Amino acid sequence: MLQYALIFFVIAIVAALFGFGGIAVGAAAIAKILFYIFIVIFLVTLMVGLARR
């Protein structure tokens, strides 16, 4: 479970780097949405992973 949390975190960081850099307005908006979605998924999987220990 912790591996999934780390994978979602890396995806969120990559989405933020591509979208927040100002490449395109549309890409930035999509990347911001994906960033927040993946951060939430990261936190949920992190909590579940820690709870299973």
For the segment 11-47, what is each residue's pLDDT rounded down to a tens digit?
777 777 776 655 555 656 766 788 888 889 889 998 9
d(CA 24, CA 45): 31
What pLDDT does 47 receive?
93
What pLDDT does 3 receive?
78
**Are the CB atoms for 31 and 19 separated by under 8 Å?**
yes
d(CA 22, CA 14): 14
What pLDDT does 48 receive?
92
What is the value of pTM for the model shown?
0.52
Structure-token pair, residue 38: 């993946």
Half-sphere exposure of 4 (CA within 13 A, CB side): 11
Structure-token pair, residue 6: 């780390």
The gap between the terminal CA atoms of the chain, to the nearest Å, is 10
What pLDDT does 24 receive?
52
What pLDDT does 10 receive?
79
